[in-house]
Amino acid sequence: MKNTFGQNISVTLFGESHGEAIGAVIDGLTPGIPVYEERISRELTRRRPSSSIDTPRRENDNFRILSGVFGGKTTGTPLAIIIPNENVKSSDYEYGSARPSHADYTAFCKYHGFEDFRGGGHFSGRITAALCAVGGILLPALEKLGIKIGTHILKCADIKDNEFCDFERDITALNSAPFPTISSECGKNMTKKIKEAAENSDSIGGITQTAVLGAFAGLGEPWFDSVEGLISHAVFSLGGIKGIEFGKGFGFADTKGSESNDEFKVENGKIVTKTNNNGGINGGITNGMPIVFNCAVKPTPSISRPQNTVDFIKKENTEITIHGRHDPAIIRRICPVIDSVCAIVISDLLASRYGNDVFLKGDKLCSSD
Amino acid sequence: MKNTFGQNISVTLFGESHGEAIGAVIDGLTPGIPVYEERISRELTRRRPSSSIDTPRRENDNFRILSGVFGGKTTGTPLAIIIPNENVKSSDYEYGSARPSHADYTAFCKYHGFEDFRGGGHFSGRITAALCAVGGILLPALEKLGIKIGTHILKCADIKDNEFCDFERDITALNSAPFPTISSECGKNMTKKIKEAAENSDSIGGITQTAVLGAFAGLGEPWFDSVEGLISHAVFSLGGIKGIEFGKGFGFADTKGSESNDEFKVENGKIVTKTNNNGGINGGITNGMPIVFNCAVKPTPSISRPQNTVDFIKKENTEITIHGRHDPAIIRRICPVIDSVCAIVISDLLASRYGNDVFLKGDKLCSSD
Amino acid sequence: MKNTFGQNISVTLFGESHGEAIGAVIDGLTPGIPVYEERISRELTRRRPSSSIDTPRRENDNFRILSGVFGGKTTGTPLAIIIPNENVKSSDYEYGSARPSHADYTAFCKYHGFEDFRGGGHFSGRITAALCAVGGILLPALEKLGIKIGTHILKCADIKDNEFCDFERDITALNSAPFPTISSECGKNMTKKIKEAAENSDSIGGITQTAVLGAFAGLGEPWFDSVEGLISHAVFSLGGIKGIEFGKGFGFADTKGSESNDEFKVENGKIVTKTNNNGGINGGITNGMPIVFNCAVKPTPSISRPQNTVDFIKKENTEITIHGRHDPAIIRRICPVIDSVCAIVISDLLASRYGNDVFLKGDKLCSSD
Amino acid sequence: MKNTFGQNISVTLFGESHGEAIGAVIDGLTPGIPVYEERISRELTRRRPSSSIDTPRRENDNFRILSGVFGGKTTGTPLAIIIPNENVKSSDYEYGSARPSHADYTAFCKYHGFEDFRGGGHFSGRITAALCAVGGILLPALEKLGIKIGTHILKCADIKDNEFCDFERDITALNSAPFPTISSECGKNMTKKIKEAAENSDSIGGITQTAVLGAFAGLGEPWFDSVEGLISHAVFSLGGIKGIEFGKGFGFADTKGSESNDEFKVENGKIVTKTNNNGGINGGITNGMPIVFNCAVKPTPSISRPQNTVDFIKKENTEITIHGRHDPAIIRRICPVIDSVCAIVISDLLASRYGNDVFLKGDKLCSSD
């Protein structure tokens, strides 16, 4: 379905970086969900470039809800939300020279030269603002069901943040942190490294870590719609992400079953696991423990150094120096986007299991798992 | 869509480990594709437990094609293939005690106790035989278009295999290798380690590496159906896989843009990249270079040591010692399954771009990318 | 999705008339639904040719459930059911001469000559046996929720049956009637007409009428998944059906709004309509009244008279006389198939609204509409 | 998928009658299709109320394309188009009294009172303007492939228009006719009848007839995506339509196979049928003849006479007299909407068979059928 994701609660994305507006249509929403415009704004703010380590392109993100909300609540019919593009400088871009590790050349292969190439067009990170707007609607609805989502930078350059410790507290803190790390000391050091990279006309990557707290046991499918499969499918939409691992992930390669199996126990009348190496998922299905996953984020491909490349129209070698405006590291700004993408997946899983009216059911859900 | 994957060429899986038969329905196949029963057998054989390091459960995998093939070729209508279950010993399993890191407990949460729990039921690795049968049909069809897929064990215990070097040669060798490593020396050492684990009543994990050679440039979508997204969605169906990375993957976290960007060049009149850190995918879309990805495989959860766990019916702590028959490492047997799953994704991407009759077009496809 | 229908409860069909077996995979079923083999047999019997007015091809329909049922109840994982083809006489068919109003020529256009043409292949009415088997599972599950489905022959030749009067009683009677009319007198006269047509080497069409009793109010979508849209989509799979109308249908063309609007009233504390010209659906959504629709069934295209046609291989005019075995009217045998198809749609609508576990909820559902 | 229709070329609809804007997102479009704003305007004009027999609500339909078009051509990424709502008079509507045969009550059952009820909300015929905008993009793209679509009023009150005779000429004439009939005499008489109904505070229904000329042979699927199934699914989204028949449709009930079978012949080297009783479709698949279908349109439920009804909030009987602005017959305005809906289905069928780039292929398509 290309630009649509989700079976029962689905999101359709549209827009280009330098077009009139970007936006999203959310379908399948339970009627009666409160829509908080200030929460949408907050999610957009978390993603927006703001500090000296971000691209100088600044936008107000004055979103407008065109449909699907009435009296401050969802109607149950498609909710269309658009964000006009404001601060557009198309002259920064010219067509034909493929920016290395960007989608210029692959877009040409796919769209035969008809693509809107300005600012990366439909491939631009700009489109993720629409995802954050969607998150601004879904995240508080999930919170009402006791489900919280948060993402921090686990690693950037050679600095490693703490892992999640007190999920509840950490997620709350992350959702209003200007720089999303659990240790603020680490955050400062990462910022320094990012600035250094920028001064060096370079860019850096990193690893994010996301936790979903409170997801009921029993969500997901053995084939093919495992929770890992759905989250990864959605998350890999984000151009900069090149890897994902759940729980111990690639660390499993170095362990034995006797070391990494998650033993069960009964705790306060509830079945839990002693460790959470499987990241809350067994056989593709949630077991009630926090869902935990890490994403590998590549360095922003846009760097202001000369790079060898080709002109794909002329089919000849050439050199490119990217001017324009860009981030030396997208890892800070990608965190709220992952939260939003994750909220889409979890909402859809809930709707598939509990039906269209899932967000109206509240406490009744918890007791049924 | 749960047990169905793929938009234009889709696969529906069914079956339980100890039921009458497992199987698959492939829909959307181009009419006129030759179906080679010996190739289906070969793919089943690659996956089948065979040596001293595999589970002692042995099956003949006497598949039967029920529909969709006429005169040795696909008809274009749904191809149903079943594999009867033969060597079934249900007494090995009892219900209620959750095997740690298995799906017993999550299946109970999802299916309320109605699941066929014998041998892991629908969660069993047994179901992957049906995927290999599908691969036995799709892989040769892709090969006719010049697309080859191969998987080796990149890492097992602390032994690391060589990376792909000559893709064409390596893939060909892997597809008939009894133990899928590029270096046969490494393969022997890995086998030794797996035996040691088994003798120790333990299990081990590892990392696989897969290459898709010859995929045309221009496949995939920016949102949401990136090539990474589709492959990961399909691959995470396999219960033992807990991580996936494309190209440099998690290694990107330690690099700078200037080090890891893939510069383009013209080579023999064709646009290629000098390095392939992005694993053949830019902005979610194939760039014509080999698609390369690694999967993290966890140690088989079944180990014949006592483990603490719960009885989820009685909701009380208990202990379990798994007898039954199981693999000390599934990593050898998962390689052909990944090839097959990957063949489904690539076939579907081709059909979405080039239409229903994609496999009849042959050379015409190549020239259009 | 071609051979798959349904969003949350979906059915995938496969098989050819003269292949090894036909079958279906039902996915998304609530775990714990009792599966009554005798009910499956009964639905197959209702569809099976049996009397002098049906094709002489007779099959035992010895279905086998391969997966998805454990201890007599659904597991919640895909239920695969197959029916071997037994009484096959392929010599009756030869390739190239297009039987008028059959799919021979269109199959050739679509499948380029690779189609299994024997006995109509995948286009054969034989495939509807698999639909009836599905109905044999879904219909009793719906009945437990108070939803009943029945179909009678409203018109055949120039004989018109009574309309539904007492839905409950009529549906019950129809489900065990050897010839599905409300007035048995009408049934006898229709049988006579069908025999006359057969003696005359001809065939006749008719109109069926279906009622769904007890469907809760609030099912369906305004765009695009109206109840009319979903039912018609599914029903038009049946090759012989060329028209469908809901409620007054084409009769609306001759009425005024003041005559055909369905006024509401409160009756025994329940909101109902005084008339049911809209067939239980307003704005695409059920209103709680019986869903009523009629289908136009064309005369069986197979007639044993010489007909002009073409040989589509040679692209030249020719003549054909169809021998083989065929029904002079499929209208009797299509009634249980419509019931089954309708059961798929209603089950899926319920699952979409009330969630995956819909059939476990019983009385709780009724109170929520 | 609710408000999304189509597999490879899909349309997502959003909007409410009295909200800020309505709109559509078209996904899967071939890049490089010219977008003619004047054609979009023309399709919107055909649908717009304009004469004395239409609702007095008048809107400029100043559509805006937000994305997916660059340099006057489609980019291949989602095309979002919105139409602001301008002439809104919400005071005409009050909540609780169910207008008979409207969706007020069913919307309440489905959306629990959260629906935007003003002007029918998401159920309003207003939303069809977005469909016509989509038609304004797809119809000229189809015309370039030689495929033309036209709809006329076959019957209104007791007046019957001529059937299609010269398809090419009739469709061209209909597409610019102020009142869509083949005989202009009939059109005048129908207009008179509609005025009479209006003067009488009443409304009338009718039957439309649509033809698709030039659809290649071989489109559609035997199960479940027959051409009849897909067209009917899409067409039944239109609230006023309650029946559909293909070719002879319900007329088949009164014929014999010997009378109504469509014999084939070779004509100018092309295989055609002598008659077209099957409306261009055999076994669910196009045979190359014109696709012809009729739709039953019910009288506009809004009539300005007192009607009995219920207040569904208070659950008590009441009376309603609808003031507001409404059409005495929607049949004139529904014709261009059916054309647009039909264009979506045909475009999607073409993309499914010939691939994503279908509209770039032009002549190459014709030769392949």
CA distances from C140 to A202, C53, C346, D74 (A): 66, 29, 13, 50
B352 contacts D354? CB cut-off 8 A: no
Q: Is D101 left (phi over 0), alpha (psi -120 to 50) or beta?
A: left
Q: In Å, how far is A365's CA from the nearest CA of chain C?
A: 12
Q: Is D246 left (phi over 0), alpha (psi -120 to 50) or beta?
A: beta
C308 contacts D261? CB cut-off 8 A: no
* Minimum CA–CA partner of D70 in chain A: A116
Strand partners, A82: A23, A64
* Residue C53 pLDDT > 90: no
* Minimum CA–CA partner of A17 in chain D: D67
Could you identify the residue written with the tokens 């990170």? Answer: A125
CB D125 within 8 A of CB D330: yes
Residue ranges of chain A whose CB lies within 8 Å of a chain C CB: 7-8, 77, 222, 351-358
Distance separating alpha carbons of residues C146 and C361, to the nearest angstrom: 12
Q: Which two tokens stand for residue A62?
A: 């004055």
Strand partners, A151: A210
CB D81 within 8 A of CB D64: yes
Average pLDDT estimate for B189-204: 95
CB B280 within 8 A of CB B212: yes
Distance separating alpha carbons of residues D159 and D196, to the nearest angstrom: 14
Of C312, C103, C95, the residue nearest D271 (C-alpha): C312
Distance separating alpha carbons of residues C89 and C115, to the nearest angstrom: 17
Collect the ranges in chain D with pLDDT lower than 50.
367-369
D255 contacts C4? CB cut-off 8 A: no
- Taking CB atoms within 8 Å and a gap of at least 24, the contacts of D194-198 are D194/D53, D194/D156, D194/D157, D194/D328, D194/D329, D194/D332, D195/D52, D195/D53, D195/D328, D197/C256, D197/D157, D197/D299, D197/D328, D197/D329, D198/D53, D198/D328
C156 contacts D205? CB cut-off 8 A: no
Angle at A325 between CA A319 and CA A330, to 5 degrees: 100
User: What percent of chain D has a predicted confidence (pLDDT) above 90?
Assistant: 88
C-alpha torsion sign, points C305, C306, C308, C310: positive
Q: What is the DSSP letter of D305?
A: S
Chosen for mutation from D29, D66, D357 (greatest number of chain A CBs closer than 10 Å) is D66
* Minimum CA–CA partner of B4 in chain A: A224
CB B329 within 8 A of CB B191: no
CB C317 within 8 A of CB C177: no
B102 contacts A278? CB cut-off 8 A: no
Residue ranges of alpha helices (H) inside A22-77 are 37-47
Q: In Å, how far is B58's CA from the nearest CA of chain A?
A: 23
CB B42 within 8 A of CB B340: no
Chain centroid to CA A83: 18
* Residue B24 pLDDT > 80: yes
Q: What pLDDT is stored for residue D190 in this prediction?
A: 96
Could you identify the residue written with the tokens 């299509």? Answer: C334
A-chain CB neighbours of B232 within 8 Å are 229, 232-233, 236, 244
Could you identify the residue written with the tokens 């200007």? Answer: A178
B352 contacts D356? CB cut-off 8 A: yes
Residue ranges of alpha helices (H) inside C225-327 are 227-235, 257-260
B70 contacts C115? CB cut-off 8 A: yes
Could you identify the residue written with the tokens 């899409």? Answer: D234
CB B334 within 8 A of CB B208: yes
Q: In Å, how far is B90's CA from the nearest CA of chain C?
A: 13
Q: In Å, how far is B352's CA from the nearest CA of chain C?
A: 12
* Residue C126 pLDDT > 70: yes
Given 3-state DSSP classes, what are the helix, strand and coil percentages for chain D, each rounded to the nearest 5? 35, 25, 40
* Residue C363 pLDDT > 70: no
Chosen for mutation from B201, B248, B291, B298 (greatest number of chain A CBs closer than 10 Å) is B298
Chains touching A (3+ CB pairs < 8 Å): B, C, D
CB A285 within 8 A of CB C356: no
CB A298 within 8 A of CB A202: no
D-chain CB neighbours of B353 within 8 Å are 355-357
A-chain CB neighbours of B190 within 8 Å are none
Q: What pLDDT is stored for residue A91 in this prediction?
A: 65
Q: What are phi and psi of D258, to 5 degrees?
A: -65, -25
C123 contacts D257? CB cut-off 8 A: no
Strand partners, A57: none
A25 contacts D14? CB cut-off 8 A: yes
Distance separating alpha carbons of residues B333 and B135, to the nearest angstrom: 14
Of D74, D85, D109, D86, the residue nearest D22 (C-alpha): D85
D-chain CB neighbours of B356 within 8 Å are 352-355
Residue ranges of chain B whose CB lies within 8 Å of a chain D CB: 7-8, 77, 222, 351-358
A357 contacts C358? CB cut-off 8 A: no
Residue type, D269: G
Q: Which residue from B15, B32, B64 is facing C20, i.e. has the nearest CB? A: B64
Collect the ranges in chain A with pLDDT lower than 50.
367-369
Residue ranges of alpha helices (H) inside chain C are 37-47, 104-111, 128-144, 167-174, 184-199, 227-235, 257-260, 331-354, 358-361, 363-368
CB D1 within 8 A of CB C211: no
Q: What is the DSSP letter of A34?
A: B
Q: Which two tokens stand for residue D160?
A: 């019957």
Question: Residue B221: exposed, middle, or buried by beta-carbon count in 10 A (0-12, 13-18, 19+)?
Answer: buried
D27 contacts A2? CB cut-off 8 A: yes
Distance separating alpha carbons of residues D219 and D142, to the nearest angstrom: 14
Q: In Å, how far is A290's CA from the nearest CA of chain C?
A: 23
Q: What pLDDT is stored for residue C91 in this prediction?
A: 65
Chosen for mutation from D219, D356, D365 (greatest number of chain B CBs closer than 10 Å) is D356
Q: What are phi and psi of A243, to 5 degrees?
A: -160, 155
Q: In Å, how far is C106's CA from the nearest CA of chain D?
A: 5
Q: How many CB atoms lie within 10 A of CB C176?
A: 9
* Minimum CA–CA partner of B8 in chain D: D352
Consecutive H or E run containing D340: helix D331-354
Strand partners, D64: D82
Q: What is the pTM of this model?
A: 0.97
Question: Which residues have a Cβ under 8 Å from the Cβ of C253 and sit 6 or more positions away?
Answer: D155, D156, D205, D206, D207, D296, D297
Q: What pLDDT is stored for residue D368 in this prediction?
A: 42
D-chain CB neighbours of A120 within 8 Å are none
D353 contacts B354? CB cut-off 8 A: no
Of C42, C46, C119, the residue nearest C87 (C-alpha): C119
B13 contacts A223? CB cut-off 8 A: yes
D122 contacts A78? CB cut-off 8 A: yes
The CATH number for A4-360, chosen from 3.60.150.10, 3.40.309.10, 3.30.70.270, 3.30.1370.100, is: 3.60.150.10
Collapse the DSSP code of C327 into the 3-class scheme (helix H, G, I; strand E, B; otherwise coil) and give the result.
Answer: coil
User: Is the peptide bond preceding residue C250 cis, with omega within 30 degrees of 0?
Assistant: no
Q: What pLDDT is stored for residue B50 in this prediction?
A: 78
D27 contacts A77? CB cut-off 8 A: no
C-alpha torsion sign, points B321, B322, B324, B326: negative
Of D197, D235, D207, D221, the residue nearest D5 (C-alpha): D235
Q: What is the pLDDT of residues B71-104, one digit of tens each?
A: 999 999 999 999 999 877 666 567 999 999 999 9
Could you identify the residue written with the tokens 């950037």? Answer: A156
Q: What is the pLDDT of residues A51-105, one digit of tens each?
A: 777 777 777 789 999 999 999 999 999 999 999 998 776 665 679 999 999 999 9
* Minimum CA–CA partner of B21 in chain C: C66
CB B25 within 8 A of CB B78: yes
Q: In Å, how far is C21's CA from the nearest CA of chain B?
A: 6
Consecutive H or E run containing C309: strand C306-311
Q: Which residue from D77, D353, D355 is facing B353, i.e. has the nearest CB? A: D355
Q: How many A/C residue pairs have CB atoms within 8 Å?
A: 31
Does residue B56 or residue C96 have the better pLDDT? C96
Collapse the DSSP code of D293 into the 3-class scheme (helix H, G, I; strand E, B; otherwise coil) and give the result.
Answer: strand
Distance separating alpha carbons of residues B79 and B266, to the nearest angstrom: 42
Q: What pLDDT is stored for residue C92 in this prediction?
A: 56
D-chain CB neighbours of A77 within 8 Å are 3, 14, 16, 111, 115-116, 121-122
Q: In Å, how far is D264's CA from the nearest CA of chain B?
A: 24
Q: Which two tokens stand for residue B106?
A: 């999550």
Average pLDDT estimate for C40-64: 85
Residues B114-128: b if buried by 16+ CB within 10 A, e if exposed: bbbbbbbbbbbbbbb
* Residue B367 pLDDT > 50: no
Q: In Å, how far is B353's CA from the nearest CA of chain D?
A: 5
Chain centroid to CA A90: 26
Consecutive H or E run containing B167: helix B167-174
Chosen for mutation from B4, B9, B22, B25 (greatest number of chain C CBs closer than 10 Å) is B25
Average pLDDT estimate for C81-86: 95
Task: Give the pairing type, strands B264-267 and B241-246.
Answer: unpaired
Distance separating alpha carbons of residues B54 and B325, to the nearest angstrom: 9
